[in-house]
Structure 1
Amino acid sequence: MAGRFRLATFNIENLDWSPSAQDEFGRRLAVLRPQLAAIDADILCLQEVDAQRETAHAPRRFVALDRLVEGGGYERFFRAATLRPGGDAPADIHNLAILSRWPIVEQRQLYHDIVVPWRWTPPAEKGASAQPIDVAFDRPILYARIALAEGASLHVLNLHLRAPRAVPLLGQADRKSSRAIAEGQWLAAQKREGQALEARLFVDRLFDEERAPLIAVCGDFNSDAYDAPARILWGADDPSGPRGLAPLATRVDERARFTVVHAGRKTLIDQLLASPALAARCAEVAILNDGLADEATAPDPILGSLHAPLVATFRA
């Protein structure tokens, strides 16, 4: 590859805008714009990009994102973004976006394209038969193939997996009971791991098609660095194997290896995994977490983000 490039992932924390909250949005811009400038990415993967209507009956579009990048280094970048599954417009919240200095020559979203939706029937209680539940992912995965400056293809998957919050189950009168929480948490884990599996199986197809593909899988995994979703995505017990996806954040000093702080506990839930051909070109990895607020005690509204950007630099 000619020269270096920087690839970053950043959960931008419910990036929203409304005509009635212009001042609040202006305060967010004052915090987020310097963050994006510091990231200085050539390819930027964003999570939690909301979409807005400028008027009551207008279609949803990325008003907040457009205004965030306006006048900055990312304004003229190529863009890929998710749509609401089955629709032709973005969802109101939690869309994914990829911004690239170089052309995006192919893009698609994965939503049960490989792992089909399934049904689960909760265990019967006191002889009453339970109704089966249709289980589907919360949002798509975003894929983009980017033509780098010298012509090589970089495959990028942007993920935002299900958070470890109990899925509300219909028909349960007490949604805070131990049973409801246990079943809801189990179902949340199934969604999270099922979508990690869909991403991994798509990655295997890329390995089938190319001898030494350049693949990056990044985003908010909503789980710790060695939990099941990450291990599924590795594709091997040893992620440095020929088809493994290596977690690049492990190259960061352990004391700084976190992207979220919750009640004093530092966790690495935002990750960047790389195929062997890409990992071999990784020159530097940084997590921009200086001054990161604790999400358990952060004031509302949030001005910046409660996630730290993860940035990797790749050499020729």
Structure 2
Amino acid sequence: MRIATFNIENLDHNAVPPRPSDADFATRARILRPMLERLRARIICFQEVHGQTPPGGGPRDLLALRDLLAGTRYEGYSLSSTRLANGRDVWRFRNLVVAAHPDYAVEEVRSIGNTLVNPPRYSLVTSNRPDPLVEVSWERPALYVRLRRGDDAPLHVLNVHFKSKHPSPVPGQGPVNHEWATVSGWAEGYFLSSMKRVGAALETRLFIDAIFDAEPEPNILICGDFNAEPHEVPVMAIRGRVEETGNAALVHRVMHPVALSVAESLRFTLYHHGRPNLLDHMLVSRRMMSCFRQAEIHNEMLHDESVAFATDRKYPESDHAPMLAEFDMQANLLGA
């Protein structure tokens, strides 16, 4: 079984608002389809998939993604997505999607965002608001999908996209035209984004611990764009290493990063100002690790879109590289 994660970067039919620097959908599709075919995945976790309203009206749907997958091996895959509270419409921007081969039955789909962790209340320091107290909630929920193939044990998939490292807005401080009024205001915005990123990671950890409570040896896979390096708090909070908890009895709840099997020189999914970063991750439970075979990061043609004049028209694929992991579920000795 091959499973991939891919931040496909703002997949849409047309950019909103349209800019001369944007690549059109047809150009993007010509480059993205061969990348997807190379993955040969049975399950793909996508991030940053935009939703579109059908021409004749109706619920907003993943029309651009469906058009991208048409004619590929993924046509006919089930698409489970984050949705609005009405349950019909997908979000206009940045949906999480789990695409699964028809062999896998979709047993449950759930969004997890500010449901297990109450948004912390924080008193702004640099803001000009009369009431500085705000709720710090994370904008993007995680997507949980439970899949099952035949009589096999269920596969618990969590697709995440944590808050970026860009500072969150602070009233009276900015950003206005990408400028901040003071360094302190910028620093507070950066702090707010950190709270959102770590809060979402805590909620993800709480959710998988509930799965561990229900199943002693579950198949759990967490993947997506963490916007954090392997050593940073959002990743470490979900991994739960015994070195950190100090409790050997929790060893079966540790989540293992498959990227550790990739050579260190190739272990990156994004370039930022010339520096390779590993911001996309795939963490698996011990039971899944028992049948893990290999991991790949398809970063050979990755471009640095943070440098000057690096527009999407020049680099229409994505600023992230897809990550792939292969498992031999028949060799899962813990499930025997």
Partner AA of 2:147 in structure 1: I
| TM-score scaled by length of structure 2 | 0.86
* 1:300 corresponding residue in structure 2: 312
Change (3 A) 1:223 1:71: same
Change (3 A) 1:223 1:149: same
SS at match of 1:146: strand
2:2 aligned with 1:6, yes or no? Answer: yes
Quote how far apart the aligned CAs of 1:281 are. Answer: 0.9
Question: Structure 1, unaligned stretches of length 5 or more?
Answer: none
SS at match of 1:223: coil
Aligned residue-pair number: 311
2:255 aligned with 1:245, yes or no? Answer: yes
CA distance in 2, matches of 1:45, 1:269: 15
* 2:215 corresponding residue in structure 1: 210
* 2:225 corresponding residue in structure 1: 220
2:266 aligned with 1:264, yes or no? Answer: no
Structure 1 moving runs of 4+ over 6 Å: 19-23
Aligned-residue sequence identity (percent) comes to 35
Q: Does the CA-based 8 Å contact 1:165-1:188 persist in structure 2?
A: yes
* 2:189 corresponding residue in structure 1: 184
Q: Does the CA-based 8 Å contact 2:126-2:188 persist in structure 1?
A: no
CA distance in 2, matches of 1:53, 1:219: 26
* 1:236 maps to which of 231, 234, 241: 241
RMSD in angstroms over aligned alpha carbons?
2.4
Question: Structure 2, unaligned stretches of length 5 or more?
Answer: 245-249, 331-336
1:162-205 deviation digits (Å, cap 9, x = unpaired): 00011002243676021111110001000000000000000000
Select between 233-242 and 134-143 the one with higher mean Cα deviation: 233-242
1:113-162 deviation digits (Å, cap 9, x = unpaired): 10112221123789x96521121111110001110245221100000000
Change (3 A) 1:228 1:85: farther
Quote how far apart the aligned CAs of 1:104 are. Answer: 1.1
SS at match of 2:300: coil
Q: Does the CA-based 8 Å contact 1:9-1:310 persist in structure 2?
A: yes
* 2:285 maps to which of 252, 275, 292: 275
1:189-233 deviation digits (Å, cap 9, x = unpaired): 000000000000000001000111000000000011110000000
* 2:38 corresponding residue in structure 1: 38
* 2:111 maps to which of 91, 109, 112: 109
Q: Does the CA-based 8 Å contact 1:14-1:49 persist in structure 2?
A: yes
Quote how far apart the aligned CAs of 1:57 are. Answer: 5.5
Q: Does the CA-based 8 Å contact 1:47-1:97 persist in structure 2?
A: yes
SS at match of 2:167: coil
